[in-house]
């Protein structure tokens, strides 16, 4: 039997034609990024790098996507709780 798709087990979900309703794309990710560094996220294709990064920056459209129980701490603030206006400012200033 073919292995289950990676998107069947995650807590971050974007419901698109690529993934059936309520599929989970990434599950239980935890990472820390040092200030003033340029980190890379490495992994095999489809392991969830893009979904993870987009979720942190709140670039997965909600609905249909959502992050369950997520906390993204940046300079002492939880990005999950910020207004969209504040997120836009953070995205603009965090860009290289």
Kindly write out the interface string for residues 45-64 of this chain, putting x where it contacts Mg ion by CB under 5 A and - elsewhere: ----xx--------------
Question: Which residue minimizes CB distance to ligand ADP?
Answer: 14
Cβ proximity to ligand ADP, 22 vs 36, nearer residue? 22
The verdict on 16 binding Mg ion (CB under 5 A) reads no
Do residues 61 and 50 touch, judged by C-beta distance below 8 A?
Answer: no
Give the C-alpha distances (Å, rounded to integers) separating 31 from 19, 25, 27, 52, 64. 25, 17, 13, 10, 25
| Cα distance between residue 41 and residue 29, in whole Å | 12
Distance of alpha carbon 44 from alpha carbon 33, whole angstroms: 20
What string marks each residue from 3 to 22 as x (binds ligand ADP by CB under 6 A) or -? --xxx------x-x-xx---
> Please, which of residues 47-76 interact with ligand ADP by CB under 6 A?
47-51
Report how many residues bind ligand ADP under the rule CB under 6 A: 16
């Amino acid at each position: 039997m073919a292995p289950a798709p990676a998107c069947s087990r995650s807590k971050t979900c974007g419901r698109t034609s690529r993934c059936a309703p309520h599929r989970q794309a990434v599950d239980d990710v935890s990472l820390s990024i040092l200030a003033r560094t340029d980190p890379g996220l490495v992994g095999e294709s489809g392991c969830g790098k893009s979904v993870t990064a987009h979720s942190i920056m709140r670039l997965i459209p909600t609905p249909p996507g959502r992050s369950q129980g997520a906390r993204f701490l940046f300079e002492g603030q939880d990005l999950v709780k910020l207004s969209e206006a504040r997120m836009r400012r953070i995205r603009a200033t965090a860009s290289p």
